[in-house]
């Protein structure tokens, strides 16, 4: 068999080049790049606090102009309630059911903090005298009415709707997050027979047992954060 000459070798090499260019190329590993585990990526994304996690610290001014911090109520069960007087879903609960639950809870030593995160110029925004008048007009029994016009605390807790509820135990741990009950309508008649998850969570904590329903999908009107203006 005749050996290929140098010229023949060159010709073969030239023919091979286009073939090699058509083959998939393996990417060279980047020694400086380290894969990010999914858990770390989730943490960096700033996931909203959920039941079982520590409740984020905050300080807000109340309707009377006094500063109130979550830390002030350490050792007590705390309820956070996001509200908006113009929301039909809030109006449904404020026909008497919400006020009754507030009174029951406060009578049992619970601190009830109603929060308004509506931005100036949006539905539900009140401040100063208007906030005090709203509380008096609705005969609300919350411990304090807190004003969050920048929406910073609402976003910190990922409050999505009005109403949107949180229950925090005496150790500062979130025990319930989400919708107030299992009847996601704005019809007053649906209050009867509804399973109120906030009342159930408070009963569980008072009895010293785990909260049976730790999350419920929130429903109602969207919180009127500044970007909605």
Binned at pLDDT 50, 70 and 90, residue 229 comes out as low
Contact 128, 65 (CB under 8 A): yes
Binned at pLDDT 50, 70 and 90, residue 105 comes out as very high
State whether the Cα torsion 69-209-177-187 is positive or negative: negative
pTM of the model: 0.80
Using CA atoms, how far apart are residues 182 and 15, in angstroms rounded to an integer? 72
* pLDDT above 90 as % of the chain: 77
Considering only 102-106, 114-118, 126-130, 179-183, which range has the smallest mean pLDDT? 126-130
Phi, psi dihedrals of residue 161, rounded to the nearest 5°: -135, 170
Structure tokens at 114: 């109603």
Average pLDDT value for the chain: 84
Average pLDDT, stretch 160-188?
98
Burial level of 165, CB count in 10 A (0-12/13-18/19+)? buried
Binned at pLDDT 50, 70 and 90, residue 228 comes out as low
Contact 162, 220 (CB under 8 A): yes
């Amino acid at each position: 068999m005749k050996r290929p000459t140098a010229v023949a070798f060159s010709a073969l090499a030239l023919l091979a080049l286009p073939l090699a260019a058509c083959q998939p190329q393996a990417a060279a590993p980047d020694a400086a790049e380290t894969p990010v585990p999914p858990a770390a990526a989730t943490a960096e994304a700033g996931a909203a606090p959920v039941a079982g996690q520590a409740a984020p610290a905050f300080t807000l001014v109340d309707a009377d102009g006094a500063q109130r911090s979550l830390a002030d109520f350490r050792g007590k069960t705390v309820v956070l309630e996001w509200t908006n007087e113009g929301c039909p879903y809030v109006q449904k609960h404020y026909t008497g059911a919400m006020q009754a639950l507030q009174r029951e809870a406060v009578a049992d030593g619970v601190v009830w903090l109603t929060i308004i995160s509506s931005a100036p110029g949006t539905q539900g925004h009140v401040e100063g005298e208007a906030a005090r008048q709203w509380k008096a007009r609705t005969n609300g029994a919350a411990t304090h009415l807190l004003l969050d016009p920048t929406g910073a605390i609402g976003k910190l807790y990922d409050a999505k709707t009005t109403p949107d509820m949180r229950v925090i135990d005496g150790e500062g741990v979130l025990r319930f997050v989400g919708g107030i009950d299992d009847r996601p309508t704005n019809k007053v008649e649906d209050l009867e027979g509804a399973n109120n998850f906030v009342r159930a969570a408070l009963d569980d904590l008072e009895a010293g047992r785990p909260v049976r329903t730790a999350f419920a999908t929130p429903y109602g009107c969207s919180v009127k954060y500044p970007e909605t203006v």
